Structure 1
């Protein structure tokens, strides 16, 4: 993966995963995204950066936040944007993913923002792409969602500063099925987070090395005690087998974030969620819409982060 992501001089040529991304590169992307936040939400100051470049959002799974913010990011930078809808394209007739990529490459598309249900699918396309073609992983299977990881780190930096070594962060919920959790864990480790706590029922925790270096518990109250940030995860019922949770009501009772539970965290703790939220399951309305919530700030930061990544790869 690392060899695919960088060229012989160490320059970023694709963004497939945050695993193995050097800390200086990760921090450079975050700092550039911070500088782009004003331009991300209006204006034409950056419109010349990708003028003449073509960016295709190639989504084989549904998306609201990621696809919309990548589209806005490309347009803010002046790129020509092509939105590919797999439900109405030749993929429904049996066309292979690689043939779709090659067809669009032949039309002069320079960058592909790809979401796919299969682990490793985006890396496979990157390996087969022509020199100079850029692949950005917008979420593949359970494996990676690197720009979500970056926007989560930007949100944390804005709230808590750049020194992650003093932070205690809790990641709560369905880690087993979450590509967001994996990208957040890669980034938190790279940035030297002081303590990473992971909480969830055993049935929803991965059994590989995903949780290395983390404090793991099934006790939500203990996980939240004194933390600086609580990162809640969506219960991904569409990806799981029946029986992994006894019931939605039981899950909310044991792992839902409420006002009373949030009171165990540090007084200035922030609450994050990648969306879409299952309100009343992993998070209550009072917390999701409360003063400590940074959920909409995460969404806002998505445009700036994706502008920074597109600029780094194509600018």
Structure 2
């Protein structure tokens, strides 16, 4: 799970590879917001590296943002970034399994870019959305932004949708983060074509996250038969408890594939447990009895 935005595609590729070291199926989940982009861009600009190095780091980050917002097969986009061609959509990534809806966001993009310009190109996304949605708050009134022509012209979209618009404008290099203004946004030369109507903006529509029950319950990184799932989850519960007791990651105790093997074979003695793949002698001695007790309890 990536809760911090990697700095480059190379970094993302390396980090996601760790999930598949046991040879089993794995899922990579990444979340990010404009705050992450602001922080990384500030780090680049404030570093002591030369301008050539900074330009390279900016390009790497922009490449990763393009990957995040892409509506194409993730695997094809990822491999293309390393000069490889994947012949057909993978059928396994989020864009393949649930293709994102695209919408014509040209007018909202024009409103957003105009709002950035008319407010002075020095404010962050939160304040810009407040202007567009016509928020009546003290800061808006103090700055006189309730008198702007862009005030309240964006009531047709909620705040979540506007965050998506701004995020994708940054990813498309139509807006850039000003590292000197604490996350303020400013126009780039490329934004002119959108503002003048010479460029159409198609954006991905962010879908509401599905509820756990709509996804059919918790998902695991390994395929587990329905009849074994209850025991498998009980074994994972024991693993989580052991991991907390020892203050180590859960996979240090056992991989999911080992727990699946136990759930399938259902050993009811420590001796039988020792024949299950993925359990060495030391782990058998330390955890064997407790594992067997879980198996017996589950019948």
Report the TM-score range of the alignment, normalised by the length of the smaller protein: under 0.3
Q: Specify the structure having the higher radius of gyration (Cα).
A: 2
Higher strand proportion (structure 1 or 2): 1
Higher helix proportion (structure 1 or 2): 2
What is the TM-score with the length of structure 1 in the denominator?
A: 0.21
Report 1 or 2 for greater relative contact order, CA contacts < 8 Å, sequence distance ≥ 6.
1
